[in-house]
Amino acid sequence: MRSWFRAVRRFVLALALAGFAVPASAAMTQNDAHVWEMQEIILQAQHDYANPYADVECWIDLKGPGFDKRVYGFWDGGRTFRIRFVATAPGEWRWQTGSNQPTDTGLNAGTGAFRAVAWTPAEIEANANRHGFVRATTNGHALQYADGTPFFLLGDTWLAASTWRLPFTGGAEVPADYVPASGINFEEAVAYRKRQGFNSISFIAAFPNWAADSNGATFADSHGVTIRNAWEKFGSWAPNAKSSTVDGATTTAKNMEDEQGNLAFAVVPDHDGLADFDRINPAYFKSLDRKMRFLADQGFVPMLEPVRRDIGPSWKAYFDFNTSYARYVAYLAARYGAFNMIFSGIHLDWVTKDFGLSGDEYNAALTHWLKTYGPLPFGQPVTALIDGSTYRVFGQAPWLTMHTVGNRPRAHGIYPQMEEVFRLDPPTPVANLEPYYAGWTHQINSPGGEAPERGSERDTYFARAMMYGSVLSGGLAGHVHGTGAYDMTSTGEASGWRPYFWDGLRLTSGGQMQYLRRFILSEGDRYQQLTPATADLHPRASSKAVADGLDGWSFLMRTADRRLAFLYFELRAARPQMDGFLPNARYRWTWFDPGNGRWSRPVALVADAKGTLAAPVFPGGKTQADKDWAAKIVATATR
């Protein structure tokens, strides 16, 4: 983190030399900047503005080796504006400031230059983000760092981690044997998941309109406009609430301020807590800055989302939605676009006219953002969390550079949607962002109608089955894990029908995500060339398969040269024959246990003259799987 502050001071000084007003404490400690390390220019406007957030746009025109783009800045309170950026390659770089306020000398005509240098191999080994920002692979199907190193997403769902619910303390180093418990902080949660092999978390930047007040978790104003469709604050009954849950509870909403009590936006007076979406509160986002910097220092690539879909109705009813929403997305892109991240345009977990807007309405606002401000200058993927498939909701929207699936169905029915996305032209990476959530009892989270006990073997299996089934249905970007603690009931709150956040972290399924990466990357980056080949499995579904469940299916992906294949077999899957391999070729088959990450002794197989392989019996000598298994097939000799 020290290097980040050195960079800030260095560019503040550069502006001081150019005649800008800067803090007296600014000092330069070095003349070089590392590639992919966030730099910051601080501008002090010479004029006051009625609404700096809406009235002022500032930027730098940044030029360096292979790079010539405009990078937007953001208002950070008072007369202060900041512009954050990275150098994408070693060499000489130059920048010049500009704004839409040409008479303000504090925002225009500042210039500077610096030299960017590469990280050493040892420095890169210490933090994977030094490989460069994540982007699609050349073939479009997977993700990699800027230097070509594979990036396989292993994410976890902490949707309210931006708020007080997971406080950032800046305290002591987390012990290596830390176990999540009440009182957990942000650093402890990150350290715990990092120890389990995770490299990402998914969270929402802000929850406007959410507060623990006299209204229910879900409520509309006097005009019938939905103000929020929030998660319940267990044990906090709202006198003005109507039933908002399946069990008839009338709780208020989870409150979503930061650790200091700041809200993301100003509040419209006398309008039931409605956020003023045209007046942002920079103090709230300063808290989020600290968390984003910490994630970057830990080598994480977070998925950051602007807001949840329930703000849509009030935003559109009382504001110029396309312009206002695009401005907010641009603010986040400017504030966090110099971090390695995956950026989501909207958390659209439910496409509903009552508690959100249509896909077309969000699509129009995000397309307006793209046309007005341009794409992220440093090339990170842009996607959306979705109900179903981003392709089926948004089509091939111009702002989408990565597709996703999720939420419904959390069963076999989602896999054909993944294969559909995989075959798009041009191709984009795809991942399942809302699969089965361990420890969550809900009708949409009940494969085959089952509701297993939280933390049971069956509960863990369902989560694991969707890890492997999703990736081997084309989700080569990686996978995002989730639990019933997605809403992050936290320290000091009453328990409810979803677990406390720390209890969700301790569920077994999270610890098994690291084995998915071990399996997929066992042949290096060759997994990036895999293509779905389930049509060559006979049978693909056993007689014990559950159509709307997660039992009895098999999965196969294979490289075009037919020399490498990966398979996954759900519980009760049948031993298959497989077509499409090299005729008369010799192969090595190795079983992999997804529950403990262990490989079995390889088995030699030979394809027949038509290229058909017969799978060996499952471990234990069975022809029907009595647990789930993965396997890898590698060609050893061809004729």
Judge whether 26 and 6 are in contact, CB under 8 Å. no
Please check whether residues 157 and 48 belong to one and the same domain.
no
pLDDT digits (tens, 9 = 90+) for 110-145: 999 999 999 999 999 999 999 999 999 999 999 999
pLDDT at 26 over 60: no
What local confidence, expressed as pLDDT, does residue 172 receive? 87
What local confidence, expressed as pLDDT, does residue 240 receive? 87
Is 350 inside any structural domain?
yes
Please check whether residues 173 and 108 belong to one and the same domain.
no
Selection from 308, 307, 228, 320 nearest residue 272 by Cα: 228
Residue 37: which CATH number? Answer: 2.60.40.10
Last residue of a domain, one of 522, 551, 571: 522
pLDDT at 282 over 60: yes
Mean of per-residue pLDDT scores for the chain: 94
- Interatomic CA distance for residues 503 and 490, integer angstroms: 10
Instruction: Provide the residue range defining the domain that includes 8.
Output: 2-118
Please check whether residues 73 and 156 belong to one and the same domain.
no
What local confidence, expressed as pLDDT, does residue 22 receive? 38
Domains held by the chain: number:
2
pLDDT digits (tens, 9 = 90+) for 322-346: 999 999 999 999 999 999 999 999 9
Judge whether 20 and 44 are in contact, CB under 8 Å. yes
| % residues pLDDT > 90 (the chain) | 91
Please check whether residues 287 and 176 belong to one and the same domain.
yes
Is 441 inside any structural domain?
yes
Judge whether 554 and 568 are in contact, CB under 8 Å. yes
Please check whether residues 75 and 201 belong to one and the same domain.
no
Is 568 inside any structural domain?
no
Is 261 inside any structural domain?
no
Residue 434: which CATH number? Answer: 3.20.20.80
pLDDT digits (tens, 9 = 90+) for 66-110: 999 999 999 999 999 999 999 999 999 999 999 999 999 999 999
Is 616 inside any structural domain?
no
Per-residue pLDDT band for 11 (boundaries 50, 70, 90) equals: low
- Interatomic CA distance for residues 44 and 37, integer angstroms: 23
Is 548 inside any structural domain?
no
Please check whether residues 50 and 114 belong to one and the same domain.
yes
Name which of 20-34, 184-198, 567-581 the model is least confident about.
20-34
- Interatomic CA distance for residues 448 and 465, integer angstroms: 13
